[in-house]
Amino acid sequence: MNKDQIEIKPLTIDDADAFKALRLHAIQDAPASFWPTYEEEARLAVEDVRNRIRPTENQVVFGAFSGTALIGITGLRRESLEKITHNATLWGVFVEPEWRRSGVARMLLEAAVAHARETQVLQIRLFVHTENPRAQQLYRSVGFIPYGIEQRAIRVGDRFYDEEHMMLRLDE
C-alpha cells in the first residue's frame, strides 16, 4: 500500500455508486461509528446519494482513490444560516481496512481542512465514537480538541455508545 499513489479529490455525482458501496461497507465494518443503519443507507435512492455528494457552496465530500478504486471518504458540511456559517461539520470518515495506518485518513482530513480554510470556515466540529481511540488520536494530531461527551449518542441494538465532540479552530 503506497500512499504516493493515492489521489484525494472531491466526489462528483458520477461517484455515487462507489460512494454508496463504500458507505455500506463502512456501516458493516463499524456500525456504532455511523448514524444510519445498513438498511437505511441501502434504501437511499441514487438521486439522494448524488445530492449528498454533489459539491455545493455548503458541502463537499472528498474521496481517496487508488487508481479508480474509492478507498476512503470524508464529508464537510458548512452551516448555511448567516449566524452560524462560520461552522462546518466533518462527517463520515472511513478508510478501507487494508489502507488504515497508511496516512490516507490524514490526507482526507487535510483536504477537508484546506477546503474549510479556502471557504472561510472558522471552526470544524466532529463527533467520534469514544471507543475508537485511533480516530480520536488522529483528530487530536490534526489539532482537534475535545469539548464534551454526548452520552448514549448512538444505540446499536440494545447497546448505547457515547460520542466525543471535538472542534478545530481555524482562526487561531
Write out the H or E segment, with its range, that includes residue 97.
Answer: none
Is 143 part of a structural domain of the chain? Answer: no
Q: What is the percent of the chain with per-residue pLDDT over 70, rounded to a whole number?
A: 98
Q: What is the CATH number of the domain that holds 38?
A: 3.40.630.30
* pLDDT given for residue 172 in this prediction: 79
Question: Residue 119: which H helix or E strand, with range?
Answer: none
Domain that holds residue 28: 3-124
Tell me the three cell numbers of residue 109.
482530513
Number of domains comprising the chain: 1
pLDDT digits (tens, 9 = 90+) for 107-148: 999 999 999 999 999 999 999 999 999 999 999 999 999 999
Q: Is residue 57 part of a domain?
A: yes
Distance of CA 94 to the CA centre of its chain: 7
In a domain, 139, yes or no: no
Residue 43: inside a domain: yes
What does the alpha-carbon distance between residue 124 and residue 134 come to, in Å, rounded to a whole number? 19
Cα 158 versus chain centre, distance = 25
> Looking at the chain, how many residues does it have?
172
Q: Is residue 56 part of a domain?
A: yes
* pLDDT tens-digit readout, 22-48: 999 999 999 989 999 999 999 999 999
pTM of the model: 0.94
